């Protein structure tokens, strides 16, 4: 990662943290980009509660003094801030490079707003440059891979990865994806699949750092 990329991620993280205010319940994403947002949130010293998407995120937030809430004990989540492995201007995403896609998606769909932060290298015209992570129960791993092959994907079990729910991640290469929502539904329909990393129709806003400037998607009029 270049120093410019790192700076752009930090700018996007700070812009996302600026959207928060006291009293909010905030979904906290997982991964290196989301970690920048968590640190930016901590620096603001707001009176919020965080809902973590992984044990790793929970540990970081706790170390920074952000109070945490159990997702099953909150009535709603006001906003979630997370990263993405890639995104399009229509706000389709691939997530799950960090292995937390199941918890990330559960937190996202419970949120009033989902804000994605990224640098410009994550913007693509079509999803598929990054392989689609698929969380599967271990007992079904081979079967799921066979069914994914039937959908046109080569795949492999991610070595050394066990999710917080004790499942495996199968990374599936579909090439460029023409219809992310349809493909996502087909993957989810495979017995043994717990969740997949295509996030379609979930994100509200992407804040992208690009050479020192934060760009918004969808773009506002005149931008």
CA-to-CA dists, residue 163 to 98, 129, 132, angstroms: 9, 23, 16
Neighbours of 109 (CB within 10 A): 13
Q: Which of 104, 135, 146, 179 is catalytic?
A: 104
Alpha-carbon dihedral angle through residues 125, 148, 181, 208, given to the nearest 10 degrees? -40
List all residues 6 or more positions away from 164 whose beta carbon is below 8 Å from its beta carbon. Answer: 54, 55, 100, 102, 103
Are residues 169 and 138 in contact, defined by beta-carbon separation less than 8 angstroms? no
Is 104 considered catalytic here?
yes
Gyration radius from the chain CA atoms: 17
Catalytic residues, which ones? Answer: 104
């Amino acid at each position: 990662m270049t120093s410019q990329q790192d700076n752009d991620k930090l700018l996007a993280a700070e812009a996302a943290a600026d959207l928060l205010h006291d009293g909010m319940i905030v979904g906290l994403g997982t991964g290196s980009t989301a970690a920048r947002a968590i640190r930016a949130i901590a620096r603001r010293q707001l009176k919020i509660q965080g809902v973590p998407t992984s044990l790793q995120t929970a540990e970081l937030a706790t170390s920074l003094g952000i109070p945490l809430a159990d997702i099953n004990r909150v009535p709603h989540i006001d906003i979630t801030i997370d990263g993405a492995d890639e995104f399009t201007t229509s706000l389709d995403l691939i997530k799950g490079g960090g292995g937390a896609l199941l918890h990330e998606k559960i937190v996202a769909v419970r949120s009033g707003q989902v804000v994605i932060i990224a640098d410009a290298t994550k913007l693509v015209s079509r999803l598929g440059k990054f392989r689609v992570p698929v969380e599967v129960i271990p007992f079904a791993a081979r079967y799921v891979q066979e069914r994914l092959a039937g959908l046109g994907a080569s795949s492999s079990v991610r070595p050394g990865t066990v999710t917080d729910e004790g499942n495996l991640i199968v990374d599936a290469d579909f090439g460029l994806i023409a219809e992310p929502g349809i493909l996502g539904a087909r993957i989810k329909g495979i017995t043994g699949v717990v969740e997949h990393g295509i996030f379609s129709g979930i994100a509200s806003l992407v804040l992208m750092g690009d050479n020192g400037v934060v760009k918004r998607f969808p773009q506002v009029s005149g931008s």
